[in-house]
Amino acid sequence: MTRFLPVLAIQAPAQAALASDDYDTFEQALAVELSDFGPNFGPEAEATPRLVCYPEMHLCPNAGTPTQRRAQLEAAAEPIDGPRMRALADIARRHHIWLQPGSLCERGEDGHLYNTAPVFSPAGECVAAYRKCFPWRPFEPYHPGSAFTVFDVPGVGRIGLAICYDIWFPEVCRQLAWMGAEVIINPVATTTSDRAQEQVLIRANAIFNQVFVVSVNASAPSGVGESAIIDPEGRVRSQLSGANAGTLTDVLNLDEVTRVRQFGTAGLNRLWSQWREDDPPLELPVYEGRLDPSRWAGQPARVETPRPPRR
C-alpha cells in the first residue's frame, strides 16, 4: 500500500492575540482552507487525513521592542495542558485532521517560556510537543528545549519537528532522521533577509538526511514568506514566491524516502548504508562522542517512537 500524506502548509500572518477560550476565528479560517479542496481531498481522505501546518508563533503574535515582545509572550504563555491546547485538540477532532498549529508560547513547570510546537491527531489527542532547542539568540526570550521529537501517522510514516532556527544546526535534522523521521515539519517566522539562506538549508537538510522537509513561513507583515516543500533528493516540489499569504498543497509519497535510501540520491549516494560493521568509529571531539558504525542504522525507521513528555 502506497504511503500517501496529504499536506496543507498555510503561509499566513500571525493571528491577532486570542483569548485562550476563543478560537472561533482560527477555526473559521481553517475551515475555509479545507473547503477549498473539497470534502475528500483524494480517494483515501478518511483513511489518511491531511496534515495541516502553520508558521511559528502563529497564535502567539509578538512585535515591537524586545521589552514589548517579552510582555506579549508572557501574557500569551500557557502550560502544556492549558485551555489553548484543549481548544486546538477539539478543532483537530472536529475537522478530522492532523493539526500542527505552528508553535505556541508555553509556560513550563519550571517557570521558563518555551517555543513549543504541538501536534494533534484526528482523534483530538496531543501526540507530540516539541520545544525549540535553538532559540534565535539574543533576540528570543525562550529557554531552549532539551529533547528531539518525532510522531507517527499510523500506516503512513514518521514525522519530526524542527522550529525555525533549528534548521541552521545540522545535528537536529540528522537526529530526527536517525529516529526514523521521513518528513520534517519546519514552522518558521522569519522576517529578516536570511530567508534565502534558510531555503538553501532546508534543501541541504533534505539531501543530508534523505527526507521531505515542509518549511512554512509566516506571510507579511509577520514574515517574508517563501514557504517550500522539498523532496528527499533536495528538489523543490512546490514553493510560494514572495511574502503574500497563500497555501501550499501536496500529497507526499513516503515510499519515495524508502526508494532514495535504498538506491541513493540521484541513484548514487546511499548515506544510511555508508558504514560497514568492521569500520572503525570516527571520533567527534566537538560532541565528546563518536560516529559508531554499530549504531548507524541502515533502516532508521526501526527506532522506537518516544511518547511526548508529560510536563
| Domain harbouring 114, CATH code | 3.60.110.10
473539497: which residue's cell?
A: 38
Q: Is the pLDDT of residue 45 over 90?
A: no
Lowest mean pLDDT among 123-137, 160-174, 281-295: 281-295
Q: Is the pLDDT of residue 286 over 60?
A: yes
Q: Is the pLDDT of residue 53 over 90?
A: yes
- Which is nearest to 54 in space by CA: 108, 91, 107? 91
Confidence of residue 47 (pLDDT cuts 50, 70, 90): low
Could you tell me if 285 and 223 are in contact, meaning their C-beta atoms sit under 8 angstroms apart?
no
Q: Is the pLDDT of residue 101 over 70?
A: yes
Residue 31 lies in a domain: yes
Residue 247 lies in a domain: yes
Confidence of residue 309 (pLDDT cuts 50, 70, 90): very low
**Mean pLDDT over the full length of the chain:** 89
Q: Is the pLDDT of residue 302 over 50?
A: no
Lowest mean pLDDT among 22-26, 27-31, 241-245: 22-26
Residue 176 lies in a domain: yes
CA 84 to chain CA centroid, Å, is 19
- Which is nearest to 98 in space by CA: 63, 122, 65? 122
Confidence of residue 21 (pLDDT cuts 50, 70, 90): low
Confidence of residue 46 (pLDDT cuts 50, 70, 90): low
Q: Distance between CA atoms of 68 and 204, rounded to whole angstroms?
A: 35
Q: Distance between CA atoms of 99 and 305, rounded to whole angstroms?
A: 19
Residue 308 lies in a domain: no
Q: Is the pLDDT of residue 310 over 60?
A: no
Confidence of residue 19 (pLDDT cuts 50, 70, 90): low
Q: Distance between CA atoms of 243 and 222, rounded to whole angstroms?
A: 9
Residue 38 lies in a domain: yes
More confidently predicted of 22 and 147? 147
Residue 184 lies in a domain: yes
Looking at the structure of the chain, the number of domains it has is 1
Residue 281 lies in a domain: yes
pLDDT one-digit tens code per residue, 212-255: 999 999 999 999 999 999 999 999 999 999 999 999 999 999 99
Lowest mean pLDDT among 17-31, 145-159, 219-233: 17-31
Confidence of residue 28 (pLDDT cuts 50, 70, 90): very high
pLDDT one-digit tens code per residue, 169-223: 999 999 999 999 999 999 999 999 999 999 999 999 999 999 999 999 999 999 9
Could you tell me if 176 and 184 are in contact, meaning their C-beta atoms sit under 8 angstroms apart?
yes
| pLDDT number for residue 311 | 41
More confidently predicted of 183 and 21? 183
Give the percent of the chain with pLDDT over 90.
72
Domain range enclosing 90: 4-302
What string of DSSP letters covers the chain?
A: ---EEEEEEEE-PPPPP--TT--HHHHHHHHHHHHTTTTTSSTTTTTSPPEEE--TTTTS---SSHHHHHHHHHHH-B-TTSHHHHHHHHHHHHHT-EEE---EEEE-TTS-EEEEEEEE-TTS-EEEEEE-SS--TTT--PPPP----EEEETTTEEEEE--GGGGGSHHHHHHHHHTT-SEEEEEE---STTHHHHHHHHHHHHHHHT-EEEEEEPPTTT-----EEE-TTS-EEEE--SSS-EEEEEEEETHHHHHHHHH-BTTTB-GGG---TTSPPEEEGGGTEEE-GGG--S-GGGSPPPPPPP-
Residue 307 lies in a domain: no
Question: Sign of the C-alpha dihedral, residues 19, 311, 125, 161?
Answer: positive
